[in-house]
Chain A
Amino acid sequence: MATATVTYSRSRSTYASLRLAVLQFLADPQWLVPSMIAPVIFALVSFELFRGSGPYYLTYAILGAGMMSMWGQTLYGSGWATGQDRVFGTLEPTIQAPTPYLYVVIGRVLWNVVSGLIGGLIVYVVIVVSAGSPPALPDPLGFALLFVFTMLTLASVGVVFAAFYVYTRYAGFIQNIGEFAFYIGTGCMFPVILLPFVVTPFALVLPPTWALDALRYLSIPGYQGFGWGVYWDLLGALGTTAVYLAIAGVVFRRVERHVLEEGNLSDY
């Protein structure tokens, strides 16, 4: 008997997963809160607090709230990237499919990145309208490129969270109780060097901390962040992101094997 050859495309799976994530976002708008509503409120609060503190504090408010928008999507959305399969009972069928599960999750995480970006854009518009003028940016193109790079570092954290959440019942706890801790740890609204030194090693474990510091060096003249400067920041961001992606790959392979051998990850 001839054996049927299964052909599959990883990119098509990622695209389908991304498309479904968009549709689910539109059908269940609760994700508007972490990605768009909360950051706008944080932006307005920080704008009020920074008011009159100089032209570059506008950049602090926009960058900070924009980052929080993306963090919100990473923390909540990426956790749901695998959590939804357990709730809907689709974890085993999805993993039985020929496409590696990681490519399905990447599609969902990509949408989180895009919706976080949209949130960042909304934050930008709200702050510019409130301030009456755009922020002073010495290098707008570099800023835009580095901003996208910062998002990618966050996406790498999202993929690790998505993998890690399969093995824990505390995803909700990490998301809801740890939210502000992540904002502080990555220095969303202020440089990490303002925090007690003991926090720094924990902050440096997170790729966005490095990327955000580099972004501030580029966009805020006279900025005092980590003493090693922008290029080491970028290198650190690249290195930690690579480590995160490697960890995510290993964990997802383990998840797949676990599901195929035990079939009990849906019990949560």
Chain B
Amino acid sequence: MAIANVRGPATYHSSFWRTLWTNAVMAPRTSLGFMRLDFVLGTVFVVPLTQMAFFVFVVKLSGGGASEIAFTAIGNAIATVTYPSVFSVCQTTDSEKQQGTMEHLLVSPTNRLALYLGRGLIPILISLATAAMGLVYAATLFGVVIPLGAIPALAVSVTLTAFAMVAFGLLLGGVALYLRTSIILGNIFLFVGLLLAGVNVPLSDLPTPLQWAGYALPLTWGLAGVRAAIAGESLVSLEWIWGAVALAAIISFGLAMSLWEYFERRAITTGSIARF
């Protein structure tokens, strides 16, 4: 009887780009929350309009003038990216647990960086569309003046904000691996930004502890970049803010990866936190 030539264990190299692409395409259909077409269209076209209108009317009732209305309109136009970036992305963990695929994911040799980065790609695109639509509403319905010359800087600010917010969503998804559900966490950060990130009220008007809490949110820096771009601030000051937004994105994503690694190890060791 011929004896099979037994070699050492096969080494599996997962392709970074294939993992990234597969997750970018598959995650909206499987693990990301609120990715049905009606939700996506509603998020891009309806949510910015209604959220902006709500707060703008509150400002009008309180006697706010054009500048206060513009402040609130811009703030909420950008804050609505929280829906596709943070709220949707952080639910990937819940979905994996609910569908019973978490265990398989944890034991797969897939490159984690490509995996999580890939999951964030479509939310980044939807965030860009949401913010763009919000800014269109701000300019056409709420009297916000956006100079044409400010658009390139505005585009950079919005793009960086989308990246930073999705990274923050992945970070919450990492925390959610340990929690029973990410819904509460996602919801809290969906609303907390409205108060702490300078969306409706300037950060300087808040008590100092709340200001510090606000500075810890990527939305605060992203929004500062957007406001600075619309105000036509110099490239030097914009670069500082962009740097801060990029740093917020890198820190969030780095923390997300570290958390995933830690909790993955814990999940494999204890076998108890990968279930819903």
Cβ-neighbour of A172 out of B39, B60, B188, B200 (below 8 A):
B39
Contact flags A125-137 to B (C-beta < 8 A → 1, else 0): 0000000000000
Contact flags B184-205 to A (C-beta < 8 A → 1, else 0): 1001100110110000110001
Cβ-neighbour of B50 out of A45, A46, A181 (below 8 A):
A181
Judge whether B43 is part of the interface by a CB distance below 8 angstroms: yes
A189 touches B183 (CB 8 A): no
A37 touches B63 (CB 8 A): no
B201 touches A48 (CB 8 A): yes
B61 touches A189 (CB 8 A): yes
B58 touches A189 (CB 8 A): yes
Cβ-neighbour of A44 out of B62, B64, B195 (below 8 A):
B195
Judge whether A30 is part of the interface by a CB distance below 8 angstroms: yes
- Categorize the interface residue count of chain A: 35 or more
B54 touches A194 (CB 8 A): no
The docked-state distance in angstroms from the alpha carbon of A60 to that of B60 is 13
Judge whether A170 is part of the interface by a CB distance below 8 angstroms: yes
Greatest chain B CB density within 10 A among A42, A179, A180, A183 is at A180
Judge whether B46 is part of the interface by a CB distance below 8 angstroms: yes
Judge whether A84 is part of the interface by a CB distance below 8 angstroms: no
Contact flags A39-61 to B (C-beta < 8 A → 1, else 0): 00110111011100100010010
Greatest chain A CB density within 10 A among B43, B50, B62, B63 is at B62
Judge whether A1 is part of the interface by a CB distance below 8 angstroms: no
Judge whether A38 is part of the interface by a CB distance below 8 angstroms: yes
B59 touches A49 (CB 8 A): yes
CB distance from B136 to the nearest CB of A (A): 18
The docked-state distance in angstroms from the alpha carbon of A173 to that of B36 is 9
The docked-state distance in angstroms from the alpha carbon of A195 to that of B57 is 8
Judge whether A227 is part of the interface by a CB distance below 8 angstroms: no
Q: A49-B62, A53-B63 are in contact. Are A184 and B54 (CB under 8 A)?
A: yes
A190 touches B63 (CB 8 A): no
The docked-state distance in angstroms from the alpha carbon of A184 to that of B183 is 25
CB distance from A167 to the nearest CB of B (A): 16
Contact flags A169-196 to B (C-beta < 8 A → 1, else 0): 0101100111111011000011100110
CB distance from A187 to the nearest CB of B (A): 9
| CB closest residue in chain B, given A37 | B188
- Categorize the interface residue count of chain B: 35 or more
The docked-state distance in angstroms from the alpha carbon of A46 to that of B195 is 9
Judge whether B53 is part of the interface by a CB distance below 8 angstroms: yes
Majority DSSP secondary structure for residues of A touching B: helix
B188 touches A33 (CB 8 A): yes
The docked-state distance in angstroms from the alpha carbon of A251 to that of B67 is 48
Judge whether A118 is part of the interface by a CB distance below 8 angstroms: no
Query: Which residues of A lie under 8 Å from residue B60 when comparing CB positions?
Result: 190, 194
Query: Which residues of A lie under 8 Å from residue B39 when comparing CB positions?
Result: 172-173, 176-177
CB distance from A87 to the nearest CB of B (A): 11
A38 touches B191 (CB 8 A): yes
Cβ-neighbour of A30 out of B38, B57, B181 (below 8 A):
B181
CB distance from A68 to the nearest CB of B (A): 10
Query: Which residues of A lie under 8 Å from residue B72 when comparing CB positions?
Result: 49
Judge whether B244 is part of the interface by a CB distance below 8 angstroms: no
Q: A30-B181, A177-B43 are in contact. Are A60 and B61 (CB under 8 A)?
A: yes
The docked-state distance in angstroms from the alpha carbon of A102 to that of B202 is 48
Judge whether B142 is part of the interface by a CB distance below 8 angstroms: no
B187 touches A33 (CB 8 A): yes
Q: A33-B183, A48-B200, A53-B63 are in contact. Are A177 and B47 (CB under 8 A)?
A: yes
Query: Which residues of B lie under 8 Å from residue A37 when comparing CB positions?
Result: 187-188, 191
Query: Which residues of B lie under 8 Å from residue A29 when comparing CB positions?
Result: 184
Judge whether B42 is part of the interface by a CB distance below 8 angstroms: yes
Cβ-neighbour of B46 out of A34, A60, A181, A191 (below 8 A):
A181
Query: Which residues of A lie under 8 Å from residue B62 when comparing CB positions?
Result: 49-50, 53, 57
A184 touches B53 (CB 8 A): yes
| CB closest residue in chain A, given B87 | A176
The docked-state distance in angstroms from the alpha carbon of A123 to that of B184 is 19
Cβ-neighbour of A49 out of B50, B201, B206 (below 8 A):
B201
A177 touches B195 (CB 8 A): no
Q: Which of A's residues lie within 8 Å of B, judged by CB?
A: 29-30, 32-34, 37-38, 41-42, 44-46, 48-50, 53, 57, 60, 64, 170, 172-173, 176-181, 183-184, 189-191, 194-195
